[in-house]
């Protein structure tokens, strides 16, 4: 594993417990996100397998499961996966790399990925989305969110831990272009301002895309 990946994994391992304390409950304060997830759950139904990619402690997966979705979760960080399993034992969570998925072609009816692309360099996005397209069944649904902007935010400290991590922000148009390059069809794009006192104060984008038949 490259140094960057190892460092990223170690960072999320170190902050996993604090991530639970700060983020696990966040959907309670985010009605817009809940509405999008409700719509996503209604569309994918109960039969399709859905994957929460870069699931962290698994709160989004858990929200979907509570709405009847057959969901699993994958994350690079073993400690995040440990937290996710502890918090929601009914969901199969496993370690994995969303850039090279251990899933068969067309295996999943849906992918949800909230802020999971935040460490992916822009030039790597089309290949990432091509891989997601590979594992989505024809007509499969993607719900993706990310921070809008042109900045890279570097942090040396995170919840009292010494870290070195970059968070990448994206322009909506460049993510749309990368999704299309990866073979996904854009269905809906929504942006919103941050909820005050609830989350990092960045504007956010949500994209719903579908996997067209090959």
Ligand X SMILES: C[S@@+](CC[C@H](N)C(=O)[O-])C[C@H]1O[C@@H](n2cnc3c(N)ncnc32)[C@H](O)[C@@H]1O
Binding mask 47-66 for ligand X (x = CB under 6 A): -------xxx---x------
To ligand X, the closest distance from the beta carbon of 137 in angstroms equals: 21
Q: What is the distance in angstroms between the CA of the first residue and the CA of the last residue of the chain?
A: 32
How many other CB atoms are found less than 10 A from the CB of residue 94?
Answer: 14
- Closest to 120 measured CA to CA, from 66, 85, 76: 76
Q: Any contact of residue 72 with ligand X (CB under 6 A)? A: no
Given the complex with ligand X, which of 50 and 80 has the nearer CB atom? 80
Nearer to ligand X, 117 or 184 (CB): 117
Tally of CB atoms within 10 A around 194: 14
Assign 126 to helix, strand or coil: helix
Output the 3-class SS for 54-85.
CCCCCHHHHHHHHCCCEEEEEECCHHHHHHHH
Per CB under 6 A, the list member of 75, 135, 144, 170 interacting with ligand X is: 75
In terms of CB distance, is 118 or 184 closer to ligand X? 118
Total Cβ atoms within 10 A of residue 172: 17
Residues of span 7-26 touching ligand X by CB under 6 A: 8, 12, 23
Site for ligand X in 116-175 (CB under 6 A): 116, 118-119
Nearer to ligand X, 57 or 140 (CB): 57
Following DSSP, what letter does each residue of 97-132 receive, concatenated? BTTB-SS-TT-EEEEEEESTTTTS-GGGHHHHHHHH
DSSP tag of 174: H
Among 77, 83, 88, 210, binds ligand X (CB under 6 A): 77
State the minimum distance, in angstroms, from the CB of residue 156 to ligand X.
17
The residue among 20 and 184 lying less far from ligand X, judged by its C-beta, is 20
Pair of tokens at residue 124: 């790597």
Least distance to ligand X from the beta carbon of 57, Å?
Answer: 7
Closer of 44 and 84 to ligand X (Cβ): 84
Which of 36, 51, 80, 205 lies at the binding interface for ligand X (CB under 6 A)?
A: 80
The correct pick among 40, 108, 114, 206 for binding ligand X (CB under 6 A) is 114
DSSP one-letter string for 134-166: HHEEEEEEEEEEEEBSS-EEEEEEETTEEEEEE
Binding site for ligand X (CB under 6 A): 8, 12, 23, 54-56, 60, 74-77, 80, 97-99, 114-116, 118-119
């Amino acid at each position: 594993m490259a140094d960057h990946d190892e460092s990223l994994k170690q960072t999320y391992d170190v902050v996993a417990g604090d991530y639970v304390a700060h983020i696990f409950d966040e959907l309670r304060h985010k009605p817009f996100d809940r509405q999008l997830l409700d719509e996503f759950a209604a569309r994918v139904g109960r039969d399709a397998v859905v994957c929460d990619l870069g699931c962290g402690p698994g709160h989004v997966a858990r929200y979907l499961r509570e709405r009847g979705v057959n969901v699993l979760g994958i994350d690079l960080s073993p400690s995040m996966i440990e937290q996710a399993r502890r918090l929601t034992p009914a969901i199969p969570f496993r370690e994995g790399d969303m850039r090279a998925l251990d899933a068969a072609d067309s295996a999943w009816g849906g992918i949800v990925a909230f802020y999971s692309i935040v460490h992916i360099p822009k030039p790597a996005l089309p290949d990432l989305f091509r891989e997601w397209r590979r594992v989505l069944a024809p007509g499969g649904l993607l719900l993706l969110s990310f921070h809008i902007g042109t900045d890279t935010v570097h942090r040396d400290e995170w919840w009292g831990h010494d870290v070195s991590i970059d968070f990448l922000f994206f322009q909506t148009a460049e993510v749309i272009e990368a999704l299309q390059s990866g073979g996904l069809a854009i269905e809906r794009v929504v942006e919103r301002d941050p909820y005050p006192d609830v989350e990092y104060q960045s504007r956010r984008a949500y994209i719903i895309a579908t996997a067209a038949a090959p």
